[in-house]
Amino acid sequence: MKRFGPLAAAGLAVMLLGVAFATAGEREVATAAGGPPPPITIGLFLPQAGPLAATGEEVSRGVAVAVHRANAEGGIDGRPIRVVSAASDRLWEGASGELVRLIYDAGAVAVIGALDGRSAHLAEQVITRARGAALFITPWASETTLTRIRVPWFFRLVPDDRQQAEVLAQELFVALGLRRIAVWTGGGFDGRSAAAEFRRVSPAGAIEEFGLAADVPAALQRLLARIAAGAVEAVVMFAAPEAAGDVVAALRAAGSVPPLFGPLDLARASIPEALSAADELALIAPGEVAPERFGFARQYRDIHEAAPGFPALYGHDAATAVIEALRTTGADGGDRLAAVLSGLSFQGVTGEVRFNDQGGRDLMPVLATTRRGTPVARRGAGDPAER
């Protein structure tokens, strides 16, 4: 089957789903001629290339399903919803301009996207300066400080790094009673931020850190030596999936793979084979997963011939939250839309969607074991039984 890039695939999915598109001129002509009502625009601010492109594609697919359902139900007061995309992965080469274009040129009342900490912080700055022209929801970025300073137009769906760290710490140090934990940290901004939160909630002297040195092979050898010496009871990996896969491959080659743990970010849309085959791996997962709600899983499979991953689930719930708020405000965006979204509560495919006064969600995640890279066995701390 032919493969498409993330934005091309998103566009194909949107066309297949019948999501409305129109230029500003077309909207003006239609309104003047008494034609169909102009569409309401939702923006997507997602990477076109690089390691997060596949995750962005899943998010856009989840959004498309939610928008299609809303349009099939009559849109917003008879106005169809259209989706317009812009690239988020050119941070220093115009990404802020792309987001500004979505808000002011395309007229997006809300924007969904920014899948990593850096692009999410950029989006937060732009949306703050826009001062109510639109609101922004990140379906995937988990860096804690994003919602610690309350920006009334910025929201986050995933559990933040602090919440994820608390669940990992509860499992490792309380439920399992471990005291010798190796932490492998990648060199990226998100990995360092997540590791810092885990460090804050860990008992003093319980963790030993690896991976941040420039000489990664030497760090791997040191980790292997500590495992061989019995000085490591488990490994927690705060790194991009590719780097985490290298660690798992090295452990397997050495013939010693301790229990492995990681954050939600390791459950991206595309992960390396070494990581997907790691049955010893337990990952952070949403507190609830109900893809059958709204007929989401069926619609997603009908179009994409695959089961939706976590990014698609969060993308769907981000779009559904915006749509539910728009049903109260009509076409109004900005302050009124943000106020309605702040008080919204509904059952999404990732559990209850309800935002706290910082724009995040209080719904705590859980741990899930993996099968072929997909978290499947949901469990509470210390309870390995599947639910």
- Domains in the chain: boundaries: 6-159+289-354, 162-285+366-379
Residue 190 contacts residue 262 (beta carbons within 8 Å): no
CATH number of 162-285+366-379: 3.40.50.2300
Q: What is the pLDDT of residue 91?
A: 60
Residue 26 contacts residue 20 (beta carbons within 8 Å): no
Q: Which alpha helices (H) appear in the chain, and where do they start and end?
A: 6-17, 24-32, 53-72, 95-100, 117-130, 161-169, 189-201, 216-228, 241-254, 273-276, 296-304, 310-329, 334-342
Query: Within its chain, how far is the Cα of 56 from the centroid?
Result: 9
**Strands ordered across the beta sheet of 81-87:** 81-87, 40-46, 108-113, 135-138, 154-156
Of 178, 110, 115, 184, the closest CA to residue 146 belongs to 115
**Separation CA 44–CA 56 (nearest Å):** 9
Q: What is the pLDDT of residue 158?
A: 97
Residue 206 contacts residue 180 (beta carbons within 8 Å): yes
Identify any residues that bridge with 283 across adjacent strands, giving them in sequence order: 262, 368
Q: What is the pLDDT of residue 253?
A: 92
- Whose structure tokens read 């010496």? 229
**Separation CA 319–CA 44 (nearest Å):** 10
- Whose structure tokens read 């040129």? 105
Helices (runs of H) and strands (runs of E) counted in the chain: 13, 14
Contacts of 369 (CB under 8 A, 6+ apart): 279, 281, 282, 375, 376, 377, 379, 384
Residue 57 contacts residue 124 (beta carbons within 8 Å): no
Q: What is the pLDDT of residue 178?
A: 97
Residue 130: CB atoms within 10 Å:
18
Q: What is the dihedral of CA 169, 253, 271, 353, to 10 degrees?
A: -20
CATH fold of 6-159+289-354 reads Rossmann fold (3.40.50)
Q: What is the pLDDT of residue 7?
A: 40
Instruction: Kindly report the backbone phi and psi dihedral angles of residue 178, in degrees, each rounded to the nearest multiple of 5, phi listed first.
Output: -80, 155
Residue 367 contacts residue 285 (beta carbons within 8 Å): yes
Contacts of 65 (CB under 8 A, 6+ apart): 17, 296, 299, 300, 303, 316
**Separation CA 124–CA 144 (nearest Å):** 13
DSSP sequence for 167-219: HHHIIIIIIS----EEEEE-SSHHHHHHHHHHHHHSPTT-EEEES-SS-HHHH
Tokens describing residue 383: 């309870």
Q: What is the pLDDT of residue 18?
A: 40
Q: String of b and e for 237-259 (b: at least 16 CB within 10 Å)? A: bbbbbebbbbbbbbbeeeeebbb
Q: String of b and e for 141-180 (b: at least 16 CB within 10 Å)? A: bbbbebbeeebbbbbbbbbbbbbbbbbbbbbbbeeeebeb
Q: What is the pLDDT of residue 380?
A: 40
List per-residue pLDDT tens for the chain, 387 residues long.
333 344 444 443 443 344 333 433 333 334 445 677 899 999 999 998 888 999 999 999 999 999 999 999 999 999 999 999 999 987 656 678 899 999 999 999 999 999 999 999 999 999 999 988 999 999 999 999 998 878 999 999 999 999 999 999 999 999 999 999 999 998 789 999 999 999 999 999 999 999 876 788 999 999 999 999 999 999 999 999 999 999 999 999 999 899 999 999 998 877 777 787 777 789 999 999 999 999 999 999 998 898 899 999 999 999 999 999 999 998 777 789 999 999 999 999 999 999 999 999 999 999 988 665 555 544 443 333 333
Q: What is the pLDDT of residue 383?
A: 36
